[in-house]
């Protein structure tokens, strides 16, 4: 058998998964735990799958320190469906919700919510092309808001909150954590609801994790279709209908991998090491590489940066690919390059990128 090729994978999502997770899935693919079938082939009501989903939830609770009065759900429709489900479930008729807009994703979340009812912009970074986060004094919230929504890490613009916005007493904080979920410890009790599409740090595409404080379920209108109803989905343990079984199984394997690694504090250390390495390369390049985000807002997961010309940026992407560094093209709305350095990206891959950046500058700078 020829050796398997693995590249330095900087894809923004779906993105790199831990190699031990893929190997475990491969080993169990044809015969899961002596059942003689794959997880893809078994009933979602079987005791084996029940154990898979329950263990995944228990491990997530342990890793994140999720308090008992929060429910965990494994849903479908991506984080994008949460843009709609959050207002449908948590914003009562006639009420308004506050949105902190720090990049493309929080803007899209606000636009979706605006289709269904009233929203208010608590901050809008668009005028500065989403290069920074609001200072505390720039945020003023409606004390009657149904909730405050923000995006913890803007995947495209590479700005990441270092602490939660301070919201008025009694207003639940809702967070899109898709692209830095499980990358660092989180004070879950500060949140009313956290959601995250799995396909960055938690597993493959197809499952979205929602963590909700139980009391908020009393707001859910009774006339919502079952699959859009948090109460129905929470009470059924995400088993109202057929869940994305294989994706949930993969999330379970990722959570075990994280636990073996030492949990979210250990993961955070590694993530910071990788990010610091790359930001140092950017800052030390004499302006040849320029980061998009303001230094104090820099993300440890997504690093968008520019170069002196688009031609050089195109050449960088092409040459990098030849060196097995893939997924570095920036999002079209920011341009340039973007290195997504999620949990599963090894430190060696960050190092390989830094070395490639120095070589490229030497050759073409």
Residue 42 Cα distances to 21, 30, 183, 207, 209, angstroms: 20, 11, 31, 18, 22
| Interface segment toward ligand PMP; rule CB under 6 A; list 62-70, 74-82, 127-135, 276-284 | 74-82
Residue whose CB is nearest to ligand PMP in the complex, by number: 78
| Interface segment toward ligand PMP; rule CB under 6 A; list 73-81, 182-190, 221-229, 291-299 | 73-81
Of residues 28-67, which lie at the interface with ligand PMP (CB under 6 A)?
Answer: none
As a whole number of angstroms, the distance between CA 199 and CA 220 comes to: 27
As a whole number of angstroms, the distance between CA 36 and CA 94 comes to: 54
Smallest gap from residue 79 Cβ to ligand PMP (A): 3
Contact 267, 258 (CB under 8 A): yes
Residue 142's φ and ψ, nearest 5 degrees, are -75, 115
Please identify which of the residues 59, 71, 105, 257 carries the catalytic annotation: 105
Of 11, 15, 179, 299, the one binding ligand PMP (CB under 6 A) is: 179
| Interface segment toward ligand PMP; rule CB under 6 A; list 20-28, 38-46, 84-92, 171-179 | 171-179
Of residues 220-259, which lie at the interface with ligand PMP (CB under 6 A)?
Answer: none
Of 70, 105, 257, 316, the one binding ligand PMP (CB under 6 A) is: 105
Cα dihedral 61→63→67→71 (10° resolution): -30
Catalytic residue list contains 318 = no
One-character DSSP codes across 76-107: SSHHHHHHHHHHHHHS-TT-EEEEEE-SHHHH
Which CB sits closer to ligand PMP, 179 or 349? 179
Contact 177, 163 (CB under 8 A): no
As a whole number of angstroms, the distance between CA 129 and CA 131 comes to: 6
Does residue 79 belong to the site contacting ligand PMP (CB under 6 A)? Answer: yes
Tokens at residue 53, please?
């989903």
Smallest gap from residue 119 Cβ to ligand PMP (A): 17
Catalytic residue list contains 200 = yes
Residue 338 Cα distances to 3, 198, 233, 334, angstroms: 29, 20, 36, 9
Does residue 76 belong to the site contacting ligand PMP (CB under 6 A)? Answer: no
Of residues 112-151, which lie at the interface with ligand PMP (CB under 6 A)?
Answer: 151
Half-sphere exposure for 256 (CA within 13 Å, toward CB): 16
Smallest gap from residue 153 Cβ to ligand PMP (A): 6
Does residue 13 belong to the site contacting ligand PMP (CB under 6 A)? Answer: yes
Residue 321 Cα distances to 7, 10, 315, 327, angstroms: 9, 11, 10, 8
Of residues 306-345, which lie at the interface with ligand PMP (CB under 6 A)?
Answer: none
Which CB sits closer to ligand PMP, 178 or 183? 178
Binding site for ligand PMP (CB under 6 A): 13, 78-80, 105, 151, 155, 176, 178-179, 197
| Residues tagged active-site | 105, 176, 200
């Amino acid at each position: 058998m020829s050796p398997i090729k693995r590249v330095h994978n900087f894809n923004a999502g779906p993105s790199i998964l831990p190699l031990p997770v893929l190997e475990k899935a491969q080993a169990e693919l044809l015969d899961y735990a002596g059942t003689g079938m794959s997880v893809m082939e078994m009933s979602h009501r079987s005791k084996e799958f029940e154990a898979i989903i329950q263990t995944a939830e228990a491990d997530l609770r342990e890793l994140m320190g999720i308090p008992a009065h929060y429910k965990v759900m494994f849903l479908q429709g991506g984080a994008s469906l949460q843009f709609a489900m959050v207002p449908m479930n948590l914003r009562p008729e006639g009420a308004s919700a506050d949105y902190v807009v720090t990049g493309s994703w929080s803007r899209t979340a606000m636009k979706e919510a605006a289709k269904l009812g009233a929203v208010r912009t608590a901050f809008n970074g668009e005028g500065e092309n989403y290069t920074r986060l609001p200072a505390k004094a720039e945020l003023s919230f409606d004390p009657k808001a149904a909730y405050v929504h923000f995006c913890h890490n803007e995947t495209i613009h590479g700005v990441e909150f270092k602490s939660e916005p301070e919201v008025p007493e009694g207003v639940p904080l809702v967070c899109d954590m898709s692209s830095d979920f499980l990358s660092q410890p989180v004070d879950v009790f500060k949140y009313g609801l956290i959601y995250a599409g799995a396909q960055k740090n938690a597993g493959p595409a197809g499952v979205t994790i929602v963590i909700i404080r139980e009391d908020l379920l009393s707001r859910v209108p009774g006339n919502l279709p079952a699959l859009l109803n948090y109460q129905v989905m929470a009470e059924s343990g995400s088993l109202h209908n057929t869940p994305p079984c294989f994706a949930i199984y993969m999330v379970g394997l990722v959570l075990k991998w994280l636990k073996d690694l030492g949990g979210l504090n250990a993961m955070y250390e590694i993530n910071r090491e990788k990010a610091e390495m790359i930001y140092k390369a950017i800052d030390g390049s004499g302006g040849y590489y320029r980061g998009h985000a303001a230094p104090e807002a820099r993300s440890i997961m997504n690093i968008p940066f520019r170069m002196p010309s688009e031609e050089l940026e195109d050449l960088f992407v092409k040459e990098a690919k030849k060196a097995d560094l893939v997924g570095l093209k920036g999002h079209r709305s920011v341009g340039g390059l973007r290195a997504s350095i999620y949990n599963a990206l090894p430190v060696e891959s960050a190092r390989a990128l830094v070395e490639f950046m120095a070589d490229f500058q030497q050759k073409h700078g």
